[in-house]
Amino acid sequence: MRRCRIITVRCPLKKGTGSVPAEFRGSAARFSRGASRLFQRTLSTLVCLSLTVLVAAQDESPAPPAPAPRAEVSTQEWNFGVAWQGQPLKQDVVVKNVGTATLEITDVSSTCGCTVPTRPKSPLAPGESSTMSISYDSARRVGKANHTVTLITNDPTQRSIPIKLFGEVKPLYEVEPKEGLTFGQLYQKSSETREVTIVNRYTEPLRLQLKAGQDFGPFDIALQELDAGQRYRLTAATRPPLKVDRYQAMVALSTGFELVPEVKVSLYGFVQPPASVRPNKLFLPRNSVSEMKRVLHLTFAPDYPLELTSVRATHDAIRVEAEKVSVTGDARGASGTPIYQITVTLPPGEQIPPDSEPEVEITTNARDPEYQRFVVPIRLVPPRGSPTRPAPTP
């Protein structure tokens, strides 16, 4: 409400020291009565104007603010300092509605799966509060931590409330190499070994033991203590002949630590067939307007030599050429392994009939029938948005 202040100005009348001549007294009296009436009218006008301004000022008073929620959290920062791997880390945060309307918490999110917040109660009445907990998974996340938990509310002054989390987790142990027992590409007669070193970083001795009841397929696993309670060597060796398959497992070791009772080391290997063609299919866009070149690779194991005897396409508009090359350090074969590179030249899409199913046929002199013939289909891809033809019934 605006306030009006009335200022009263007093004008003192100074009396004269002389007398007024008689001839002027009548005129002075008439002048005094007229001046008195003029003063009264002027004073009345000023009073009315003052009242009008005062009423107008009272009418312009602002309306009281509408009720609104307002969120307040007990902290927007959690620094857990330096902790050991596996140490329980948890922080409670109080969320309070200090506004005058109902507070709604519509979402709670985290920038990392290692930081897990609980959801506080919602809605919260004015003056009501709720406690949420934030946990950090130190067993799986070592090193520097810098993450954020975010609350989304209907508070008009702060729709998003971030809570920062940071600190450092020291590892109890280290595994070198970090990728574990990785064999990558193998063949059926491959005889290879891989090893990792596990080093203790904790203040207490590390007592590693292989956990019983584990199945590692065609791999033999051995654990050796190099330095009592401090360094260990974990070794994996293939046991040929190997079955064509992809092998992936975790080697579990008990540690004797209460914080992290178990160490897991990954084991991976892929046993390739004696011979294969990659990719196993090609694609030709129906709306292509020029020739396209694609490359196929016929690979075979070093202990399974073979020769390419023929290669052809089942449609005359498709051309194929093959050459024997040597691969060094390539994922398609071992270092120095010879392979066949087959270049397929595809025509514009309109030259292949819609109902056609072209293929590339490759034949070899492999000793096993299953590797003597390979077929690579060529799929016609319709333009985006056009109806597709249903697959033929077998």
Identify whether the C-beta of residue 148 lies closer than 8 Å to the C-beta of residue 111.
yes
Domain boundary among 271, 290, 313: 271
Evaluate whether residue 391 is within a structural domain. no
For residues 79 and 166, membership in a common domain is answered with yes
Domain boundary among 271, 305, 332: 271
For residues 279 and 377, membership in a common domain is answered with yes
* Model pLDDT, residue 328: 61
For residues 150 and 207, membership in a common domain is answered with no
The sheet with strand 71-73 has its strands ordered as 71-73, 89-97, 129-136, 115-117
**How many domains is the chain partitioned into structurally?**
3
For residues 90 and 154, membership in a common domain is answered with yes
Evaluate whether residue 61 is within a structural domain. no
Evaluate whether residue 35 is within a structural domain. no
Give dist(CA 349, CA 292) in Å, integer.
10
* Model pLDDT, residue 27: 52
Which parts of the chain have pLDDT scores under 70? 1-61, 328-336, 385-394
Evaluate whether residue 147 is within a structural domain. yes
* Model pLDDT, residue 50: 53
Identify whether the C-beta of residue 241 lies closer than 8 Å to the C-beta of residue 210.
no
Evaluate whether residue 50 is within a structural domain. no
For residues 131 and 182, membership in a common domain is answered with no
Maximum C-alpha span of the chain: 156
For residues 280 and 370, membership in a common domain is answered with yes
For residues 267 and 279, membership in a common domain is answered with no
**56 is written with which tokens?**
């107008």
Evaluate whether residue 241 is within a structural domain. yes
For residues 201 and 248, membership in a common domain is answered with yes
- Do the bridges between strand 319-327 and strand 115-117 make them parallel or antiparallel, or are there none, so unpaired? unpaired
CATH number of the domain that 200 lies in?
A: 2.60.40.10
- Do the bridges between strand 292-300 and strand 115-117 make them parallel or antiparallel, or are there none, so unpaired? unpaired
Evaluate whether residue 389 is within a structural domain. no
Q: Which residue range(s) make up the domain with 89? A: 71-170
Identify whether the C-beta of residue 166 lies closer than 8 Å to the C-beta of residue 149.
no
Identify whether the C-beta of residue 257 lies closer than 8 Å to the C-beta of residue 229.
no
Nearest to 198 by CA among 170, 177, 183, 167: 177
For residues 231 and 191, membership in a common domain is answered with yes
Distance (Å) of CA 249 to CA 182, 194, 218, 369: 11, 14, 11, 32
192 in helix, strand or coil? coil
Nearest to 268 by CA among 173, 198, 192: 192
**49 is written with which tokens?**
């104007």
Identify whether the C-beta of residue 186 lies closer than 8 Å to the C-beta of residue 271.
yes
**29 is written with which tokens?**
């009296």
Bin 316: left if φ > 0, else alpha if -120 < ψ < 50, else beta: alpha
Q: Is 327 exposed, middle or buried (0-12, 13-18, 19+ CB in 10 A)?
A: middle
Domain boundary among 107, 137, 170: 170
What 8-state DSSP symbol labels residue 12?
Answer: P
For residues 290 and 377, membership in a common domain is answered with yes
Verdict on whether the full-model pTM lies above 0.85: no
Evaluate whether residue 53 is within a structural domain. no
For residues 203 and 259, membership in a common domain is answered with yes
For residues 303 and 219, membership in a common domain is answered with no
Identify whether the C-beta of residue 273 lies closer than 8 Å to the C-beta of residue 251.
no
